[in-house]
Structure 1
Amino acid sequence: MRIAIEDLVVTLAGRTVVSGVDVLAEPGEIVGVVGPNGSGKSTMLRTVYRHLRPASGRVLLDGRDLRAMSATEAARHVAALPQERGSDFELSVLEVVSMGRTPYKRAFAGDDDRDREIIATAMAQVGVMDLAGRSFSALSGGERQRVLLARAFAQQPDVLVLDEPTNHLDLRHQIDLLGLLREHRRTTLIALHDLNAAASLCDRLHVLRDGQVVDSGKPRDVLTVDLLADVFGVRAAVVEHPLTGDPLIAFDHQGPISS
């Protein structure tokens, strides 16, 4: 499904946090949202999974306003992994992942064979089958992250909204996750701090600064030396990755660019 954010404005506590943002993800595209802390990435994504209501503008799913859908219908189309992730669930891992099937069931209905198959597949994909009986609240941050990803996959959405999904994951699980997203090719909006991961994973990038989109396009067209200096305040060289051919950003860690 195609998702389009049109002229989005979000105001929090009387302050405009996102202003006139347009973002587009075509069916099956993985679209990255990058920018410095406080640029509005998470706020924008929260409007897509309906945690925030915009002051103006629209989020359209195949031309339909997500706000016009019921919560259940929207949840059948859009699954999210937000940054504000609960850690106090007094539920087992299996029960947490099973919550992904809720939009497809009547109230108080149990899981049927199809639900159980979908849940097991999602858990296997992110490598948490061995955690099924453990308490979610007793898991490490990285384990919780993978369980919540499994819940999102079990939801079988048309659109995935992922806000810093590699946070708390070790290197191997970061690589596994990025590979999984490439393999399954759902329409995906993903916020990432790791610009090299964004360059490797994403079909297109939108760069936010101070609540506005300042550049959009393919990673190799967007992630330029000038943009890195202007938006992120860092000195870097952009070269070709020797293994994949993707843009590879080599940062100068001696210090930020002098103002």
Structure 2
Amino acid sequence: MRQLRFSLTPSSLILWLVIAFLIGPFLIIVAASFSAGDTLAFPPQGLSLKWIFKVFTVESFRQSFVTSMILAIGGTLVALMLGVPASYAMSRYRLPFAETVRTIVSAPVIVPGIIVGLALLRYFVVPIGMPITLALFLAHTALVLPYAVRVVSASLGNLRSDMEEAAVLLGCSRLGAFFRVVLPNIRGGILSAFILGFVTSFNQVPVSLFLSGPGVRTLPVDMLGYMEIVFDPSIAALSSLLAFLSMGIVLLAERFLGFSRYV
């Protein structure tokens, strides 16, 4: 029987240092969330679940969680409604200035989120009186759109175009072929794009900071405001719950959809 031997080489040492650098802060936050003390500290002062339970009793957390969910789900759905046709057009037709369009669509990812939030606040909310909720929704949709286009385009690139052409030759209209042949075959990519967009929107901070107002705050922004007043382990507990939620969603997407094939 083959025996596994562990040897510490310079390469493996660097690997373990990188892993510790990436996972270490997360493990510290998780440990702090189970602290029995009244202040956020590490190492934890005893072990307790009281801060995990307290997260669900804070009214502002519940309200901002609902706001973040609405923004993440609604913004991602709208981004997909725009991104799927755009990806299809760029993948199937020779459009003029296609590369320019791709660059424009990718702009929200390239440009820092602070600039996007400041621009919407300065040129839409203040001058024309756009409701802050609408501006926040548009910002989240714009930030998610590049991910929708990228993931759906990758899925379309793996789909043979002659399948669609065969459906057209057999009497199906171009629109009918799209709904009966293309969409069913790229549903895994669309679901992966939705999950990636949802996680990105839900955890968005810079844009939401500029576009938050009275009664309209996303959960990450509300957590920042809470820490300015109270410095207890409930923030660590909430951060741990959100991290496990995001990891669970991504792991399930990888297990059932092959998430890594599209991103």
TM-score tier after normalising by the smaller chain length: under 0.3
Report the TM-score, using the length of structure 1 for normalisation: 0.19
Relative contact order, CA 8 A, sep 6+: which one is greater?
Answer: 2
Report the TM-score, using the length of structure 2 for normalisation: 0.19
